[in-house]
Structures are given as C-alpha cells and as structure tokens.
C-alpha cells in the first residue's frame, strides 16, 4: 500500500506508535519512517540522545521513549518531514501536535485551520497555537486538535476566505 499510494496502512502506523501510558506522560516525538533509507539528521539533532540508528545508516531511527521530552528539534531537521510531536496530556479533550510545515503563507497564531489526515483530506478543525520558524527553513506549527483524531492528523491547510 505505502509503495503505491504513499499512505501508510493502519498496521504500519500502529507499529510505530508509543503506548497509551507513555502518551499520557507528555509530549513525545513519533517517527513515521517506514522505509530504510540513508538518513540520520534526527540523530545528530537530538540534544538528549534519544534517537539512534545503529551501524547501518539505512536503518530506520529508533526512539528511546524514556529520553524523549518532545522538544521537536528532530522534527525541524528531518528532510523527509516524517517526524511529528504529540502531547496527548495537553487537555482532557484536545491534543497538541507539532507538525512540520513548508508552505507559504505561514499560518498565524490563533488562526483556525483545517486538520488533514495522511491522505491530505480535511478531517477536523485545528487551532494554531504557535508558529516556530527555524534557521533550516522547516517551520514547526503547533496546533490543538480533537484528542480522538490526533493520531490521524498529519498536516494542516489554511482555510480559504470567501
């Protein structure tokens, strides 16, 4: 499925998700790297040493969930835009997502945007909480989304006016 559509299957996704106990403890990075490719900027970027690849640079990254604090530095350094951060403990009904964003115009804090699933389809409304511009040109947009859809949302789209 991934090879034909670019969209991971539910089995692919469930294989990389942290358990509900870890999700309840605060923000954590999630790596949707489903193919072995030569890549390691996330390993070098992580100030906590929470990411490893091993001896073969083609291996997928492995996250030490006990070391990750969800800072999102790895997210901004991922050339494949495959990392996002989720904070399931944000509130009772909402989760906070930190998503890579490389489009213009940039959204603004407090703006309402469409939350998109992995296929790029709108599935919810999100509220932009912060727009974090980085020196490497990958902006990180912090949005709140319904907690029940947080694991399905992987992008945002600015709503067209009129």
**Alpha carbons 35 and 122: distance in angstroms, whole number:** 26
Instruction: Flag whether pLDDT at 137 surpasses 90.
Output: no
User: Which of residues 38 and 13 earns the better pLDDT score?
Assistant: 38
Instruction: Flag whether pLDDT at 106 surpasses 90.
Output: yes
Instruction: Flag whether pLDDT at 78 surpasses 60.
Output: yes
CB 115 within 8 A of CB 143: yes
CATH topology of domain 25-158: Alpha-Beta Plaits (3.30.70)
Number of Cβ within 10 Å of residue 19's Cβ equals 8
DSSP code of residue 93: S
- The band of 19, judged by pLDDT with boundaries at 50, 70 and 90, is confident
Residue 80: name the closest of 8, 130, 152 by CA: 8
- The residue ranges of every structural domain in the chain are 25-158
């Amino acid at each position: 499925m991934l090879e034909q559509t670019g969209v991971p299957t539910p089995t692919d996704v469930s294989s990389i998700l942290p358990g509900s106990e870890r999700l309840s403890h605060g923000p954590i990075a999630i790596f949707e790297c489903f193919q072995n490719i030569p890549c390691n900027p996330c390993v070098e970027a992580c100030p906590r040493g929470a990411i490893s690849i091993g001896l073969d640079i083609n291996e997928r990254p492995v996250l030490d969930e006990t070391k990750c604090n969800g800072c999102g530095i790895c997210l901004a350094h991922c050339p494949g835009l495959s990392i996002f951060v989720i904070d399931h403990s944000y509130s009772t009904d909402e989760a906070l997502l930190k998503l890579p964003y490389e489009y213009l115009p940039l959204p603004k804090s407090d703006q309402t945007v469409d939350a998109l699933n992995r296929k790029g389809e709108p599935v919810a409304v999100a509220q932009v909480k912060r727009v974090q511009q980085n020196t490497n040109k990958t902006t990180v947009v912090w949005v709140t989304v319904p907690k029940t859809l947080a694991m399905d949302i992987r992008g945002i789209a600015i709503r067209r006016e009129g």
